[in-house]
Amino acid sequence: MSDDGRQRIDKWLFFARVVKSRSLAAKLAQAGRIRVNRTKIDQASHIVRPGDVLTITLDRRILVYRILGPGVRRGPAQEARLLYEDLTPAPVAPKVRPPLQREPGSGRPTKKERRALDDLQGGT
C-alpha cells in the first residue's frame, strides 16, 4: 500500500469483505463484473483510490460502493464497513396480486362451473 491510498482492486474487495478470498476477487475482476467509475475493468491489478465508485455484479445483486479508503487487513465486518459508502439503490418490490378467493363455504367448483371457467379462459 502506498501513501496516497492507492490499492489493487482484488486486495480492496477482499479487505472490504465483498468476496471471501482474494482469488475470487481476482476472478470477479477478470470476468469483467466490476466497473470503476463506469469503466469496465478486466484486470485484478487495477488500481483504485479513495473517491472511486465501484459497480459490482454479484449473482443476482448489483452493488454500488464509493471507496473511502484502502484496507490494511481483512478484519471484522465493522472495520470493513469503514472502507466504503454503500450507494446501492433500494430493491424494487415486485407487485403482488392478491390470490383469487372463492366465497367461504362454497367448496370446490362443480363440473358445470368448471366447464364455464374453462370456456372463459379459452380452455381446451
Total domain count, the chain: 1
Residue 108 falls within a domain, yes or no? no
Q: What's the domain range around 33? A: 7-86
* Distance from C-alpha of 70 to C-alpha of 67, rounded to nearest angstrom: 8
CATH of the domain at 81: 3.10.290.10
pTM for the model: 0.72
What are the start-end ranges of the H helices in 16-105? 22-30, 77-80
Per-residue pLDDT of the chain (124 residues; tens, 9 = 90+): 456 789 999 999 999 999 999 999 999 999 999 999 999 999 999 999 999 999 999 988 899 999 999 999 999 999 999 999 999 998 888 888 776 666 777 788 889 888 888 888 776 6
The count of residues in the chain is 124
Residue 102 falls within a domain, yes or no? no
Residue 96 falls within a domain, yes or no? no
Residue 25 falls within a domain, yes or no? yes
Q: Work out whether strand 53-58 and strand 39-40 pair parallel, antiparallel, or are unpaired.
A: unpaired
Residue 62 falls within a domain, yes or no? yes
* Distance from C-alpha of 53 to C-alpha of 34, rounded to nearest angstrom: 10
